[in-house]
Chain A
Amino acid sequence: MTIVTGKAEARRRLQPGWSGALRKIWEHRADYAYVLPAIAVMLIVIAYPIYYTVELSFFKTPPGLQLRDKTFIGFDNYTTILTSQVFWKVTWNTLIWTLGSTFISFVLGFATALALHRDFIGRGVLRAILIIPWVISAVAASYIWKWIYHSDFGVIGAVLVGRGLADQPPNFIDNVSTVLPSLIVVNIWREFPFAMIMMMAGLQTVPDQLLRAAKVDGANAWQRFWHVTFPHLRNVSVVTMLLLAVANFNSFIIPWIMTGGGPSNASHIWITHIYELAFGRQRWGVASAYSVLLFLTLMTLGYFYVRALSGNERKEGSA
């Protein structure tokens, strides 16, 4: 919408002396029609909510979303958050969750892609099976794993007891010290296929001649990987890891369905905590302030994301 009004305004102001930039915009007016639908949807569903979240974060809000009764309190919501113990606990969890899931998913996905790179019988079938966890709903995945981890009838517990490794079935997700690693295992289960697909696609772009040349020069398998394949995949790796990191930082379903953040906040990450503050405890102002902090963190990540992407563009341009 803003583009349309902006254009009308531009036309009005343009009549005397056409300045270069505006003339350019005017000359390309038809091009904007192609992107307008996409931008319009984005503006409604993104720009407005961001503005509103920032505004709400400075207000004390009554429960029940009767937002006419809100009162301005400046930065109080932010001080409340930064001085609370839960915040640091949740931040630490988020860090472990994001870094752990991202790194392990990437390494497993990359290794699988390398192992699948050579052709063998059943390769297509194997690849298809390995991708399935990524496709199925995170809700279904959460329930499957919740059942596997079940404290009385869970299959892992039964195997451990059957092998004599435990006296009684361990309680994976009701235990403060094991809950987060257990959830990370589920998350990796769902996410390594994405890294695998990306890296498989990347591997196809490594020129065979280079690898053969390295082989002729006497490089062993590890040296070929480390000095030829890996440098070639640097850009894909960076993009994949960033996408994974963002997805992990933003994940909600697995912790929410499996534990709801418990026991005693041991599996709360930022997103689930914000959700609980907003829709559980109806503290909209505090939740909004949290969102703004989250937003700032993501902007920092986003800076690297765009740099990685545009770095690729530049390379393509020069090639």
Chain B
Amino acid sequence: MSTIAETAPRAQTRRRMRVDGWRWAGRIFLVFMLLYTALPMIWMLITSIKSGFAATQFPPQWWPDEPTLASYQKLLDPQNSVGQDFLRFFWNSLFVSTVTTILSVIVAVPAAYAFSRFSFPGRNFLFFAVLLRNMFPAVIFLVPLFILMRAIGLINTHGSLILTYLTFGLPLAIWLLKGFYDNIPVQLEQAARIDGATRFQAFIMIVMPLSTPGIIATAIYSFIGAWNEYIYAYTFLSKNEQLTLPVGIQRFFSENTTDFPGLMAASFMMSVPVVVLFLVLQRYFVRALTEGAVKH
């Protein structure tokens, strides 16, 4: 240690300059990324408080001369036909996403636990089979699933979406949760078993509480995935009153192509629930990725 202390000051000044160079490069880069990320969203917000006329000026009004919340009022007014549709789409999205989230936690928790704890034959095969689901695009499954859903009478119901969304949320959910269970010492459960708990009781009372962050992360992931999903909803649903937000907005604005403030307001409101949810719970999500995905 003494030699280090002696040699360090000599090289210090030069090294600090070089380190500062990197740090400045990092700061400039971060500013650039911040602009790239934030400017489109800011422009969305500014456009959404313009009138239709103000939005189509050239050169554009950087800040609207007469800011107005008319677009938001129109979308949220249940008296107005636009508002009725928007609120219904919103409700549909909320319903489908919530049910999907609850079901995927119910299905993923025991599966992840089994993949982590038990060594049954075929475990690795099944685990990778589940993970492989993430490899395949919706389009491959679209035609056969459409026919299947029609055959079992689920076409034009939210059930068809929930069943489908379950499968694309599950692989990551199981993967993340397995990482969590791998990190919970088996001894904790064994101690509970010695104290007379059944395996199931040990699971519910010891393992579940410890894996809450993982479950929250899983739930956020499922919810956001279901909320934003477009292609299945676009294919399976044709009745206007059942559409979810992404499809509903697309249908609506393919008929009203010039209502840019309305479109931006709708995009903004569609984003609010997931962004708020994510920002409130992001700590769990990042932690789950660290524990589940990266430590593997």
Contact = CB atoms under 8 A, between A and B. Distances in A.
A218 B140 contact: no
B164 A246 contact: no
26 contacts: A24-B121, A25-B120, A25-B121, A25-B122, A35-B111, A52-B143, A112-B33, A115-B27, A116-B30, A129-B38, A132-B278, A133-B37, A133-B41, A135-B275, A136-B228, A137-B270, A147-B47, A147-B260, A193-B37, A201-B286, A205-B294, A220-B15, A243-B134, A249-B137, A309-B128, A309-B296
In the complex, the 9 A-B pairs of residues with the closest C-beta atoms, listed nearest first: A34-B114, A250-B137, A49-B144, A28-B120, A115-B26, A52-B144, A38-B111, A140-B267, A137-B228
Interface residues of A, number: 103
Given A45-B163, A48-B148, A298-B135, A153 B121 contact: no
Interface residues of B, number: 100
Given A139-B249, A144-B43, A306 B143 contact: no
Nearest to B150: A65
Interface stretch (A71-79, A174-182, A270-278): A270-278
Contact of A274 (B121, B139, B246): B139
Nearest to A204: B290
A88 to B, nearest CB: 19
A291 B263 contact: no
A144 B40 contact: yes
Interface in A1-42: 21, 24-25, 28, 31-35, 37-39, 41-42
B130 interface: yes
A214 interface: no
Given A38-B174, A52-B147, A279-B235, A147 B263 contact: yes
B243 interface: no
A46 B36 CA distance: 38
- Most chain B CB atoms below 10 A, which of A132, A137, A161, A288: A137
B231 A147 contact: no
Interface of A: 21, 24-25, 28, 31-35, 37-39, 41-42, 44-46, 48-50, 52-53, 56, 65, 67, 108, 111-112, 114-116, 118, 126, 128-133, 135-140, 143-145, 147-148, 152-153, 155, 158, 161-162, 169, 189, 192-193, 197-198, 200-202, 204-205, 216, 218, 220-222, 236, 239, 243, 246, 249-250, 252-253, 257, 271, 274-275, 278-279, 284, 287-288, 291, 294-295, 298-299, 301-302, 305-306, 309-310, 312-313, 316
Contacts of A253: 230-231, 246
B143 A56 contact: yes
A234 B124 CA distance: 23
Interface in B219-277: 224, 227-228, 230-231, 235, 245-246, 249-250, 253, 260, 263-264, 267-268, 270-271, 274-275
Given A34-B113, A46-B167, A252-B137, 15 more contacts: A28-B118, A53-B141, A65-B146, A129-B38, A135-B274, A137-B245, A139-B228, A143-B249, A144-B43, A158-B59, A197-B286, A202-B294, A274-B139, A294-B140, A309-B296
Contacts of B164: 45
A103 B44 CA distance: 27
B293 interface: yes
Contacts of B26: 114-115, 118
Contacts of B139: 250, 252, 271, 274-275, 278, 291, 294
B114 A65 contact: no
Contacts of A139: 228, 230, 246, 249-250, 267, 270
Contacts of A301: 135
